[in-house]
Amino acid sequence: MQKLTLPDNSKLSKKRFLFGVATSSYQIEGGVHSRLPCIWDTFCKKENTIIDKTNGDIACEHIQRWEQDLDLIASLCVDAYRFSIAWPRVMNKDGSINETGIGFYEALIEGLTERGIKSFVTLYHWDLPQHIEDSGGWLNRNTVFRFAEYANAVASRLGNSVESYATFNEPFCSAFLGYEIGVHAPGKKGVKNGRTAAHHILLAHGYGMKAIRTHTQKAKVGIVVNVTPCYPRSNSNEDEIATTRANEYINHWYIKPLFDGCYPDVFNLLDESERPPIEDGDFAVICQPMDFIGINYYTRLTYSAPLEGDTLYHEHEANPPKTDIGWEVYPQALTDILLELNNAYDLPPVYITENGAAMADKLINNKVDDADRISYFQGHLMAVHNAIESGVDIRGYFAWSLMDNFEWAEGLSKRFGIIYVDYNTQVRTLKNSAIAYRTFISNRAE
Ligand code: IFM
């Protein structure tokens, strides 16, 4: 079986570098009837939203199987588990705490602690309560304050019991995919909508940070952003300019406000009518000092000057080699973007909070020989190693995902797990990538 190998002197080969696995609530929990409805429940019921017409009602039945799942996590010898809390499971409509819901996460965290595993909690991984969406969702400034109440409530209960709190997972996906191009819940469209949602999410991050800090002195508090590094199709001036715009529009829009308290220059290219509603003092709230930043990386994209129908840039189809979801495998871009961010901003310690690949896995004789996924991890772990060697302060790496799960608009059709899930029986089987990951993690030096 293929192995994961890194130089002996690499920081990643030492026990001090943290390794983990990650999931999110809607993607694995199921247990739809023990929580309030969320925007993904509604979105999945609409025509032509989810490729295979599945939803997260059952998913991996993690709500029932969480103890076995914790044993599985422990069997991987990881240091940490990154998961998200479902807002509609822990908060009642009137803003009070749902005791059963919060109790689930308290037990989960206790179970992790007993097994010597650190908890990396995310407060918002896309499952906005539907009743809040009914009042405008992220287009309504009031949602910012609902989020701060929710963050306050959760932190008041979990306090110092977790290693870290991330306010949001991937503001780009919630805002751009959900409110600008409408391929994710709640399926709204328009530049103004997308930019407004992004601004409110960033603002909610700022207020959320403040609320969490009142309940913990020990836990690290920050945010998780996804990055898709942008490369020009040619070295023509036009392609370079378009690439810079794309980079600002899809990446830095969600990062620059956190550190510099303003939007990138591409903001000025938007028509007044498309700009987000910014109020005095917003940026001061958004750019709170953070203890860490989580970076999620999967692939890169290439760009050229806008063609007819484009506004700022033209985005190209992914190049081969591609994973099963059609994303180019290009590890160098992970090193490149980490260096770019490190040069552009005064970064706190960095965690790679998601990295992984959907592959066309086959369960044969109780085994999944996912050599392609092991190669993907090998390339990307080396990319992290190279970024550290070039001076980026990276403290940990989380494989996405612990197990196959509900992959949003792709439904159950795409498998990102290092553990295979048979959705008919809910039987979990370690893929070869899980075994390679475990072997590498267990062999690290003190
Ligand atoms: O499954 C998602 C996850 O929820 C957020 N980051 C990207 C993953 C793969 O698409």
246: confidence class by pLDDT, cuts 50, 70, 90: very high
Phi-psi region of 306 (alpha: psi -120 to 50; beta: other; left: phi over 0): beta
**C-beta separation of 419 from 428 below 8 A:** yes
Write the pLDDT tens digit of every residue in 159-185. 999 999 999 999 999 999 999 999 999
Which residues partner with 130 through β-bridges? none
CATH number of 11-442: 3.20.20.80
Arithmetic mean of pLDDT, 358-381: 98
> Does residue 209 sit in helix, strand or coil?
helix
Write the pLDDT tens digit of every residue in 26-40. 999 999 999 999 999
Atom nearest to 400 CA in ligand 1: 8
pLDDT of the residue at 345: 98
Transcribe 301-318 into DSSP letters. EEEES--TT-SS-EEPPP
pLDDT of the residue at 59: 98
Atom nearest to 407 CA in ligand 1: 1
pLDDT of the residue at 326: 98
Catalytic, 170? Answer: yes
> What is d(CA 399, CA 418) in angstroms, rounded to the nearest whole number?
8
pLDDT of the residue at 204: 99
Write the pLDDT tens digit of every residue in 302-331. 999 999 999 999 999 999 999 999 999 999
The residue behind tokens 């870290």 is 164
pLDDT of the residue at 187: 98
Between the CA of 407 and the centroid of ligand 1 the distance, in Å, is: 7
Catalytic, 110? Answer: no
Longest dimension (CA), the chain: 62
pLDDT of the residue at 116: 98
Does an H or E element contain 144, and which? helix 142-158
The one-character DSSP state at 319 is P
In degrees, to the nearest 5, what angle opens at C-alpha 62 toward C-alphas 56 and 66? Answer: 165
pLDDT of the residue at 72: 98
**C-beta separation of 245 from 269 below 8 A:** yes
Q: pTM of this prediction?
A: 0.98
> What is d(CA 240, CA 245) in angstroms, rounded to the nearest whole number?
9
Percent of the chain with pLDDT over 70: 100
Between the CA of 109 and the centroid of ligand 1 the distance, in Å, is: 22
> Any residues with CB less than 8 A from the CB of 69 and at least 6 apart, and which?
60, 62, 402, 403, 428
> What is d(CA 391, CA 389) in angstroms, rounded to the nearest whole number?
5
The residue behind tokens 């650190």 is 118
Write the pLDDT tens digit of every residue in 111-157. 999 999 999 999 999 999 999 999 999 999 999 999 999 999 999 99
* Nearest CA residue ID for atom 9, ligand 1: 407
pLDDT of the residue at 211: 98
Pocket mutation for ligand 1, best pick of 296, 373, 403, 413 (most atoms within 8 Å of C-beta):
296
pLDDT of the residue at 331: 99
* Nearest CA residue ID for atom 1, ligand 1: 407
* Nearest CA residue ID for atom 2, ligand 1: 407
Report CA-CA distances (Å) from 281 to 203, 284, 307: 10, 5, 38
Q: Which residues line ligand 1 (CB under 6 A)?
A: 24, 27, 170, 296, 354, 400, 407, 416
Active-site residue, from 315, 354, 407, 410: 354
Q: Which has the closest alpha carbon to 170: 261, 276, 88, 293? A: 293
Query: To the nearest whole number, what is the mean pLDDT of the chain?
Result: 98
